[in-house]
């Protein structure tokens, strides 16, 4: 399973107003196999959708997950959760700051 955590990155915002970081976490059997850091420079949902599909992301975690966003990404078989949901995962809650 691949998970993406969408994070604010104030350093990147200096370079580009829409920039943000995404941690891509490869998990297997409730353990982390790898973590990659990516920088994205567009908040366009179509761009993000293609990015998620190319990287075979199954689940994303974002700051605020409203129902419209959940429905949009569900169409490409990507589950959307909020950061509050990280608390319930014994492995992923390590990424809470």
Delineate the domains of the chain, giving CATH numbers in brackets.
Answer: 2-92 (3.30.420.130)
Residue 76 CA: distances (Å) to CA of 52, 55, 90: 9, 13, 27
Cα separation of 39 and 37, whole Å?
Answer: 7
Task: Quote the tokens at residue 75.
Answer: 């169409």
Cα separation of 39 and 15, whole Å?
Answer: 11
Which range, of 3-12, 16-25, 47-56, averages the lowest pLDDT? 3-12
The answer to whether the beta carbons of residues 82 and 60 sit under 8 Å apart is no
pLDDT digits (tens, 9 = 90+) for 33-91: 999 999 898 888 899 999 999 999 999 998 887 899 899 999 999 999 988 888 888 78
Q: Which residues of 10-19 are buried (b: 16+ CB within 10 A; e: fewer)?
A: eebeeeeeeb
């Amino acid at each position: 399973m691949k998970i993406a955590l969408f994070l604010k990155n104030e350093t990147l915002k200096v370079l580009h107003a829409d920039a943000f970081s995404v941690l891509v976490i490869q998990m297997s059997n409730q353990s982390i196999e790898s973590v990659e850091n990516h920088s994205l420079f567009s908040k366009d949902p179509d761009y993000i959708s293609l990015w998620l599909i190319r990287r075979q992301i199954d689940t994303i975690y974002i700051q605020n997950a409203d129902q419209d966003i959940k429905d949009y990404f569900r169409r490409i078989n990507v589950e959307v959760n909020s950061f509050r949901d990280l608390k319930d995962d014994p492995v992923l809650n390590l990424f809470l700051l």
